[in-house]
Amino acid sequence: MSLTIAHGPLAWNPSASNYQLDGPENRLFGHPFPRRVRALFAGLVVVDSIAAKLLHESERLPQLFIPRTDIRADLLRSSPRREHDPFKGDAGFESVKVGDRVAEDAVWSYRRLNEQVGWLSGHVGVSWSAMDSWFDEDEEVFGEIRDPYHRVDIRHTSRHVCVTAAGVEIAETRRALLVSETGLPNRFYIPADDVRSDILRPSATHTICPYKGTASYRTLQLSDKVVEDAAWFYDDPLPETRQIAGYLCFLGDEMRTSVDGAVIDS
């Protein structure tokens, strides 16, 4: 992710440097994925590969491409869908069928590849969401495949962090965690004890982050205003980010987070 979004070297607006990239605005970079990956659908292993490639493309999340020999050809059904990608070529699609279940257009490949990406020849893309589950070695992966160039750094900070909405103070602390994550602004996570729980109520929203885990949300209920999904937290974060368990983070058009008196960008 650090390569392709925000101001990474393959993004559309890279950071300042002492060099220039001679090439198109939309940049493609691929490399071998170093571990075994598997995808399951309807109880069957559809993908099993130790030779996948990870494609990084400007302003997009990384995409795995699997050698066609590592996908169950007997489960594929041709699809009439066709798409043209100006950077990679003409793509055709296939569906995955197991018994009565069908994952429509879940597999695609470039029948006519642009010369610059000939290294994708013989490989297919597989829709992450169309499969029931994915495994990186023997660990199930949620959300998306992890980018080896992505980092999440967590630091304790004694800076004064305050969160308000419509002039009402929601949280105030000097015990926050500063979470620096590749491609995202710094986020300040606040201990639950330093948050006004009386004006927060449960939300039905849940999201999955491949680097932190499954997030739950809280809606802010003020006397004259409701802010949906104003805060999120991780009850059971992944081991690499277990420090943020019990902390809440706030974000939204109605929310204002200040650090040492200065409002920070969201």
92 pLDDT more than 80: yes
**Full domain range(s) for residue 92:** 28-141
The pTM (predicted TM-score) of the whole model is 0.81
Residues 163 and 253 in one domain: yes
pLDDT band at 138 (very low <50, low <70, confident <90, very high): very high
Half-sphere exposure of residue 179: CA atoms within 13 angstroms, side-chain side? 21
Let me know whether 70 and 163 are in one domain.
Answer: no
Looking at the structure, tell me whether residues 39 and 127 fall in a common domain: yes
- Tens digits of per-residue pLDDT, 1-21? 467 766 677 777 777 777 777
Higher pLDDT, 57 or 22: 57
Let me know if residue 122 belongs to a domain.
yes
**pLDDT > 90? residue 143:** no
The pLDDT tens digits of the residues spanning 105-119 come to 999 999 889 888 899
Query: Is 88 a domain residue?
Result: yes
Q: Report, as an integer, the average pLDDT of 37-60.
A: 95
| In a shared domain, residues 66 and 133 | yes
Give 253's contacts (C-beta < 8 A, 6+ positions apart): none
CATH number of 203's domain: 2.170.150.40
